[in-house]
């Protein structure tokens, strides 16, 4: 019997494994044996194996970081630029969106407005840009205007408005989705203004709206607040107007056979309801014809 079998010496491989455990690199540990086999088979050399092991560990950490940051940003529905069909929205300049995806607007603390009718992809694009920002390591927060105003109003009631605004002023990018779908509660415009003012020239924003700027007075229920908001939000701003049809409706239209679809578009609904007549008394109708 050889000495090695009686008293096995820890190998270099064992030592590497212990180090990986101590360094908390579980993925590297997992792929180590596989990398060793590939070395033995002459597929890669030692330096290649080292690179492979480290890249595996790094990519798993990076994915974990992104997943956590997406949750923190409240980006629950993930949309990507790759998943956006630019051909469907010809009024939209693809290059402008791709330029925004370079994220320099975040460094410049600019506001990006995405305007357009419902279903034209405003939230999709806002989310996709926010996801790009998260991937690039930027701090991001995503909210609808209604949720944002609710949280500010709650903080005000609890006497913590200052802290709340400071907290919301911190992320490098704040996405405010759905401006104009719901009227803002009384006082909400003022609260939102305080936040916008706190972020002005410090942090960037993406805002989506189905209404034009001229309607902000109605949305915020106060033309003075609306003017002050737009003053800040249009100063260093990129405005992207989408003039197209709804992607949501396109999807529905695809489910409807062509002959029904064209008929539905041309003709009004066949059964016109008569007002003030109780149901089930159709036989009393003598005016037909
Ligand atoms: P908006 O916010 O303008 O009302 P959304 O961004 O919510 O519209 O879009 C509605 C749905 O259609 C979403 O599921 C979105 O991912 C999808 N969508 C919209 N436009 C496109 C597009 N051009 N390509 C792919 N998906 C799209
Ligand atoms: Mg939307």
pLDDT of residue 248: 82
CB of 247 shorter than 6 A to ligand 1: yes
**Closest protein CA for atom 21 of ligand 1:** 121
CA distances from 45 to 19, 34, 285 (A): 21, 13, 91
Q: How far is the CA of 185 from the centre of ligand 1 (A)?
A: 27
Ligand 2 ion: nearby residues, β-carbon < 5 Å: 123
Query: Cα-atom radius of gyration of the chain, to the nearest Å?
Result: 29
pLDDT of residue 92: 96
**Closest protein CA for atom 16 of ligand 1:** 124
CB of 180 shorter than 6 A to ligand 1: no
To test the pocket of ligand 1, the residue of 79, 90, 124 to mutate (highest count of ligand atoms within 8 Å of its CB) is 124
Handedness of CA 192, 232, 75, 79 (dihedral sign): positive
User: What is the atom index within ligand 1 of the atom nearest the CA of 118?
Assistant: 4
CB of 252 shorter than 6 A to ligand 1: no
Chunked in runs of 10, what are the mean pLDDT values of the chain (289 residues)? 58 94 96 95 96 96 95 93 96 96 98 96 98 97 97 98 98 97 94 97 97 96 96 96 87 55 36 40 37
Give the whole-angstrom CA distance, residue 167 versus residue 188.
Answer: 18
Give the whole-angstrom CA distance, residue 30 versus residue 108.
Answer: 43
- Angle at which helix 26-40 crosses helix 46-72, to 10 degrees, equals 150
Q: How far is the CA of 84 from the centre of ligand 1 (A)?
A: 8
| Maximum C-alpha span of the chain | 113
Q: How far is the CA of 259 from the centre of ligand 1 (A)?
A: 26
**Closest ligand (CA of 179):** 2
**Cα 4 off chain centre by:** 59
User: What is the atom index within ligand 1 of the atom nearest the CA of 125?
Assistant: 6
pLDDT of residue 286: 37
Q: How far is the CA of 116 from the centre of ligand 2 (A)?
A: 10
pLDDT of residue 249: 81
Nearest to 34 by CA among 14, 52, 58: 52
User: What is the atom index within ligand 1 of the atom nearest the CA of 85?
Assistant: 24
């Amino acid at each position: 019997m050889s000495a090695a079998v009686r008293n096995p010496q820890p190998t270099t491989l064992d030592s590497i494994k212990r180090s990986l455990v101590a360094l908390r690199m579980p993925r590297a540990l997992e792929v180590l044996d596989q990398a060793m086999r590939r070395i033995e088979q002459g597929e890669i050399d030692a330096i290649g194996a080292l690179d492979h092991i480290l890249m595996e560990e790094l990519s798993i950490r990076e994915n974990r970081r992104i997943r956590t940051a997406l949750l923190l940003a409240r980006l629950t529905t993930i949309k990507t630029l790759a998943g956006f069909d630019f051909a469907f929205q010809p009024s939209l300049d693809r290059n402008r969106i791709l330029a925004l995806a370079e994220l320099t607007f975040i460094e410049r603390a600019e506001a990006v407005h995405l305007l357009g009718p419902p279903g034209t992809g405003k939230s999709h694009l806002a989310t996709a840009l926010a996801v790009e920002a998260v991937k690039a390591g930027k701090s991001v927060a995503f909210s609808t205007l209604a949720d944002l105003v609710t949280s500010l109003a709650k903080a005000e009631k609890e006497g913590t408005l200052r802290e709340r605004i400071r907290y919301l002023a911190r992320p490098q990018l704040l996405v405010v989705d759905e401006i104009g779908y719901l009227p803002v509660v009384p006082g909400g415009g003022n609260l939102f203004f305080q936040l916008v003012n706190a972020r002005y020239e410090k942090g960037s924003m993406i805002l989506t709206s189905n209404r034009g700027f001229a309607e902000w007075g109605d949305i915020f229920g106060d033309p003075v607040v609306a003017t002050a908001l737009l003053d800040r939000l249009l100063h260093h701003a990129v405005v992207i107007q989408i003039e197209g049809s709804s992607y949501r409706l396109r999807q529905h239209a695809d489910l409807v056979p062509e002959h029904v679809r064209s008929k539905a578009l041309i003709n009004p609904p066949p059964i016109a309801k008569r007002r003030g007549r109780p149901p089930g008394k159709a036989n009393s109708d003598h005016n037909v014809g």
